[in-house]
Amino acid sequence: MESNNPYQGPSADVLVTQAGSGTVGQAQKRPVGNGGAWWAQAWQIVSQNKLMWALATFVFLLIFMAIGLITAFIPFIGTFIPTLFAPVFVVGLYFIAHRVREQNTFSFGDLFVGFSNQTGPLFMAGLAQIVAMLVFFVLIGILGALFFGSELMMMFSSFADPYAAPMMNPAFGIAKMILFGLVSLLLIIPYMAAIWFQVPLVFFGQRNAFAAMVESFTAVFRNFLAMLWYGIIGFLIFLVLGIAAAIIVGVITGVLGQGVISGILMFVFGVVMLLVMLVLMALYSATIYCSFRDIFELGEAAPRQPASV
């Protein structure tokens, strides 16, 4: 029972770490249909506070844009700094979803929970992602050299002697580019699988950053069909939204032309679409939380418990 004593000291919710508590289990294989259930569960979480979710997502994007602009002028390492900070911020969206799911409470301050809880491990998660990214780039570089090494040699030869360099078969070159793209896609999938559940595993499950990537990879491929169905639904949602937006824009410009009224309507439509996209991004982050909760059997007891400080 809460006390209403106006003279009591200030209190705040504190995230109680429960390493080894068993609230996050091992990855379980789920039915294909669960891929759709994750979207439905996420909508139940987001639909209760759509405007607050949109605002939280907007602030999240602004922060990342600011970090990207500031670090863009730092040679080489500036490219990776946003990735280093990403887990610390994105975990806030997951934790907001967790609080809404567990306590039916939306707290905007939870967006910054990564700066007060598990901060070190979350930065390590970002560092692990940078390492994985560098490995991916090296593999892509090696792959590019294997696929297009001869073409590069031909190009350099043409600089020295334009008449001595043989002509490249255009059809063969296009085929190699398509094959290179497909093989690169095969390398992107394991990378995405490794980071998909890494952050919630580190935050909720107290996992080591690198071990969490291995565990995430295993979980995604163990539930490949459910994840595939989940991805198809997400693609269809954005496809339908894109088609509807194109039709609305076409109707506005086709019926009203380029007049003032058309401009006002396009501005209003743009604002509405921005809100819709922010809500969809929030929904997307909530689906990751819901799929993590389902696959890893996140316990009903919330890791956040009230405590006086």
Write the DSSP string, 187-238: HHHHHHHHHHTHHHHHHHH---HHHHHHHHHHHHHHTHHHHHHHHHHHHHHH
pLDDT at 154: 56
> Alpha carbon of 226 to those of 58, 143, 223: distances in Å?
29, 30, 5
Whether 99 has a pLDDT exceeding 70, the answer reads yes
Summary count for the chain: helices (H), strands (E):
9, 2
User: pLDDT category, 8, cuts 50, 70, 90?
Assistant: very low
- Top mean pLDDT of 84-88, 152-156, 184-188 is at 84-88
* pLDDT at residue number 34: 94
Contact yes or no for 287/42 (Cβ under 8 A): yes
Q: Determine which of 13-17, 121-125, 215-219 has the lowest per-residue pLDDT on average.
A: 13-17
| Sole residue written with tokens 């890893």 | 296
pLDDT band, residue 163 (cuts 50/70/90): low
Strand partners for 242: none
**Domain ranges, ordered by start, for the chain:** 26-299
Place of tokens 């269809």: 236
pLDDT over 50 (residue 21): no
List, for residues 26-56, the tens digit of each pLDDT value. Answer: 888 999 999 999 999 999 999 988 999 999 9
